[in-house]
């Protein structure tokens, strides 16, 4: 015959609740850390990836236009 051990049941319930609290605290700490890092990054005037990619594309286009104009000038000077 198996008897229920009230101490073990209570201890098990306590540990289950403690894990739930720990997971909640972890999620809250992650959120707070992310918020703090976002504020820190904003204060440093870092650019976003999208902004960087847009400027990079503009620079590439300008470089290509510059090469085309250079070739055109060389062609006109050769005449």
**pTM of the model as a whole:** 0.45
Residue with tokens 């999208």: 50
Residue-level pLDDT at 33: 95
d(CA 78, CA 72): 10
Residue 9 domain boundaries: 1-46
Q: Are 8 and 37 within one domain?
A: yes
The domain total for the chain is: 2
Q: Are 52 and 63 within one domain?
A: yes
- For 7-55, the pLDDT digits (tens) are 888 888 888 888 888 888 999 999 999 999 988 888 888 888 999 999 9
Q: Are 6 and 39 within one domain?
A: yes
Residue with tokens 């250079």: 70
Q: Are 42 and 53 within one domain?
A: no
Element (H, E) at 34: helix 6-43
Q: Are 51 and 36 within one domain?
A: no
Given a cut of 60, is residue 1 above it in pLDDT? no
């Amino acid at each position: 015959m198996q008897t229920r051990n009230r101490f073990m049941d209570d201890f098990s319930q306590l540990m289950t609740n403690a894990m739930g609290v720990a997971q909640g605290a972890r999620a809250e700490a992650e959120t707070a850390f992310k918020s703090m890092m976002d504020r820190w990054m904003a204060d440093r005037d870092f650019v976003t990836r999208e902004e960087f990619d847009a400027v990079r594309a503009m620079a590439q286009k300008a470089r290509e236009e510059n090469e085309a104009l250079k070739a055109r000038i060389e062609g006109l000077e050769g005449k």
